[in-house]
Chains A and B, each alone.
Chain A
Amino acid sequence: MPVTPPRNLTELFLGFLSIGARSFGGVMPWAHRVIVEERRWMSPEEFTATIGLCQFLPGPNVGNASIVLGRKWFGLKGSIVAFLGFFGLPFLWVLALASLYSEFALQPGVKSVVTGVAAAGAGLFIGTAIKLGKPIAGKPWALVVLMACFIAVGIGRVSMLIVIPAAAVISYLLAKRGLL
């Protein structure tokens, strides 16, 4: 399957606009669909490698991917165009939705529904943690680091500004000795 990068900034913008516009229930599947299947801007292998890098970096994954890919094809201009295309529509309608919600928030029942959605959303995070945790579950030291981070941040409510640097140093030393 031949791949052809976007020919100009307009094409790049419209591609990322259509990712943002359709991303119900998760952005990543749509990013894959538009970039690899519909527009054939890159091969599946290249796409996976790019997303892998973006997961390793801080920040929203697909947001970072828009910056990395925009740069790859058109330099700094490309990064800005892809980023704006991606966030433009979702930003507008999430605010519209929130304003609309404020009108209805006082209706009885609305709060219960929203609290239920939030609890389910919390469950999605926990599910994500379980999925990501499976490959490391067999390593005792990995579980120690994992639980230490959870107890400090989740239960102890210690600031991440303290926990992350400390955990990073310990984790790095453990990984270097082959314990992670």
Chain B
Amino acid sequence: MNILLELGLYFSLLSLLSVGGMPSVIGEMHRYVVESRGWISHNDFIEMFALGQAAPGPNVLISSLIGWKIAGVPGALVTLAAMCGPAGVLSFWVAGVWERLQGTAWRAVAQRAMAPMVVGLILSGGFVLATPGGAPDWRLWIIAAGSAWAMVATKLNPLWMLAAGAAAGATLL
């Protein structure tokens, strides 16, 4: 299959699954493009993730960087459009419906059902990114644990955690 077409279809599916945003699907994205299809290496994936996190802008742009790495500028456009499109159409449509459901029992149940799934998926994303190739590296885990702690315990702008990660990377790795 044409690679742009496959990227478009796959990222469209991810778009509809990305409840909670990029963090929920990053583990799945890695599984597909690195482990299953082998389009890019784990290192490429990690580099694009780091750039996307550090650059200003929405973190969904990580997907366009991955698309760029796989298939150049067309890849970047296709993955961004696919990642935003289906979810965007859904939002457009649901925006009206959801307001009418305000305060109904069904909405409350759906919201409670979603919460633990989203948390479990985001945790998976963090774990996959900090554990290259499924082989634990304690130095990466320490950096990740430190920035997770800073995020929970302080009100620092996340850029400081990324900067600290850069410094720790230069020293430890």
- Chain A contact residues, CB within 8 Å of chain B: 20-27, 53-64, 67-68, 71-72, 76, 79, 83, 86-87, 89-91, 93-95, 97-98, 101, 105, 109, 111-133, 135-136, 142-143, 145-150, 153-155, 157, 159-161, 164, 167-168, 171-172, 174-176, 180
**Considering only CB atoms, which chain A residue lies closest to B20 in the complex?**
A55
B3 interfacial by beta-carbon distance below 8 Å: no
- How far, in angstroms, from A150 to B92 measured CA to CA in the complex? 30
B91 interfacial by beta-carbon distance below 8 Å: yes
- How far, in angstroms, from A55 to B167 measured CA to CA in the complex? 32
- How far, in angstroms, from A117 to B162 measured CA to CA in the complex? 5
Chain A residues whose CB sits within 8 angstroms of the CB of B5 once the complex forms: none
29 CB < 8 A contacts A-B = A26-B157, A27-B58, A27-B59, A58-B90, A60-B18, A63-B60, A67-B92, A67-B95, A68-B92, A68-B95, A91-B61, A94-B57, A113-B169, A117-B50, A117-B165, A118-B46, A119-B139, A120-B144, A120-B162, A122-B130, A127-B147, A128-B122, A130-B151, A130-B152, A132-B118, A136-B116, A149-B121, A167-B120, A168-B113
Partner pick for A132 among B50, B122, B128, CB 8 A cutoff:
B122
- How far, in angstroms, from A151 to B152 measured CA to CA in the complex? 23
A46 CB → nearest B CB, Å: 11
Chain A residues whose CB sits within 8 angstroms of the CB of B141 once the complex forms: 119
B121 CB → nearest A CB, Å: 6
Given contacts A97-B51, A116-B173, A160-B28, contact A25 B158 (CB under 8 A): yes
Chain A residues whose CB sits within 8 angstroms of the CB of B60 once the complex forms: 59-60, 63
Going nearest first, the 5 A-B pairs with the smallest beta carbon separation are A116-B169, A120-B165, A59-B87, A90-B57, A149-B120
B153 CB → nearest A CB, Å: 9
Interface string of B96-122 (1 = CB under 8 A from A): 001000000000011111111111111
Starting from the known contacts A58-B16, A153-B28, 11 additional A-B residue pairs (CB-CB under 8 Å) come to A25-B159, A59-B87, A60-B58, A90-B55, A94-B52, A95-B64, A119-B168, A125-B126, A132-B115, A148-B120, A159-B28
**Considering only CB atoms, which chain A residue lies closest to B60 in the complex?**
A60
Chain B residues whose CB sits within 8 angstroms of the CB of A54 once the complex forms: 91
B71 CB → nearest A CB, Å: 13
Given contacts A91-B80, A142-B115, contact A59 B123 (CB under 8 A): no
- Chain B contact residues, CB within 8 Å of chain A: 13-23, 25-28, 31-32, 35, 43, 46-61, 64-65, 68-69, 73, 76, 80, 83-84, 86-88, 90-92, 94-95, 98, 109-130, 134, 139-141, 143-152, 157-159, 161-162, 164-170, 172-173
Partner pick for A131 among B58, B151, B173, CB 8 A cutoff:
B151
Chain B binding surface SS class: helix
- How far, in angstroms, from A116 to B129 measured CA to CA in the complex? 11
Docked-complex contact A119 and B143, CB < 8 angstroms: yes
Given contacts A94-B52, A120-B143, A146-B123, contact A56 B148 (CB under 8 A): no
